[in-house]
Amino acid sequence: MTPFQYLAVALAAYLIGSFSSGIVLAAIKGRDIRKEGSKSSGATNVTRVMGLGYGLLTFLGDFIKASLAVWVGVLICGYPGAMVAGIYAVAGHNWPVYYQFRGGKGIVCSVAVLIWISPVEALVASALAVLVIALTRFVSLGSLTMVGVSTLLILIFKPFVPLGAWALILLLLAVYQHRTNIMRLLRGEENKLDLKKKPPVKPS
């Protein structure tokens, strides 16, 4: 594969990743999700602000776009292209060119690319992450658990180059985007997920 092909994969994946389901869904309702709740455009904040239904739609949209980016990478450059596409799809979600580079935290996109590229490790980590969220109701902790455990398992069972290094990049992106959540977790101030609480209603 040529450098130009990898560059094409990176650009395509970034542009695909930059599309934000959360921002679009909120805009349809006349709202800017980046001005409410945690100011993130991801599924967790959409759920808190607009309700579970919108949160699930956001999750699905983000999962599909990351999967599409991986598919484009495979189509152009095979398995290495999928890994490049995965990184740039997450980067696009986090810093979307269409929305002043203000996006989400990249976890759903990370889940998608990990499942497609390293499914066994990703599914084991996902199961553990769901358990962590169920027990603690800290979505941020569950999110970091998913990416962190996936990375650990990949480092143990897969070669460091390229998969281990690739997984570490995803982990670093996740930790960076969750840096304020990590500080709140350490201080005992992190918000818990409460699906029973009604989302705030925007004044008419």
How confident is residue 203, by pLDDT bands cut at 50, 70 and 90?
very low
- pLDDT at res. 53: 94
Residue 192 has pLDDT above 80, yes or no: yes
Q: Residue 186 phi/psi, 5° resolution? A: -65, -30
Cα–Cα dist 132/155, whole Å = 22
How confident is residue 196, by pLDDT bands cut at 50, 70 and 90?
low
Cα–Cα dist 37/45, whole Å = 6
Residue 201 has pLDDT above 60, yes or no: no
Question: Tens digits of per-residue pLDDT, 30-82?
Answer: 999 999 988 889 999 999 899 999 999 999 999 999 999 999 999 999 999 99
Residue 18 has pLDDT above 80, yes or no: yes
